[in-house]
Amino acid sequence: MLDFVEARSFLIAAAQPIDRVVSCVLDEALNRVLAEDARALTDSPPSDVSVLDGYAIATAGLAPAGETRLRVTQRIAAGSTGQPLHPGEAARIFTGAALPAGADAIVAQESVTHTDEHIVFSVHPAVFEDVRRQGSDVHAGETLLARGTRLTPAHLGLLASAGIST
């Protein structure tokens, strides 16, 4: 029988480096070890998005206090893209939807009064209030997992959410 030191020496001498890299889909990657850093392919979120249901507005040019009246020109659901906002306009927007060009804040739907095709509000949001900024979770190229990481179910979820499939 070998003692510990002899057994360890025997194993070290017999060990060979792994020089073969195998690519596989995420469904087959559980408990495998990353051969290289896993990096985000895109920003997450990919654009500025609303964190609540409300109205996308441009804060520039708004009076600092008092009532503001804006014309609602469009409706933007999550997954769709709106048209650029012009001065005096607002866009009805839903949670997770991308802000249209020109918008930089959200007014909560509970803070507005509707009049025909306009909204009126007196609570003026700060720039990027209720907006999840592009890349605020992950920036494209950012390392998600380091080389040598043994992949767990949580790691696979992270990779999948970043658009990595192999």
pTM value is: 0.78
Q: What does the pLDDT look like over 66-111, one tens digit per residue?
A: 899 999 999 999 998 899 999 999 999 999 999 999 999 999 999 9
Spans in the chain with pLDDT lower than 50? none
- What pLDDT was estimated at residue 151? 97
Residues 54 and 80 occupy one common structural domain: yes
Q: CATH number of the domain at 26, please.
A: 3.90.105.10
Domain count, the chain: 2
- What pLDDT was estimated at residue 162? 87
- What pLDDT was estimated at residue 59? 93
Residues 6+ apart with CB under 8 A from 87: 58, 61
Residues 37 and 70 occupy one common structural domain: no
- What pLDDT was estimated at residue 2? 81
**Residue 152: domain span:** 22-43+139-166
Q: In terms of Cα–Cα distance, which of 144, 149, 147, 143 is closest to 31?
A: 149
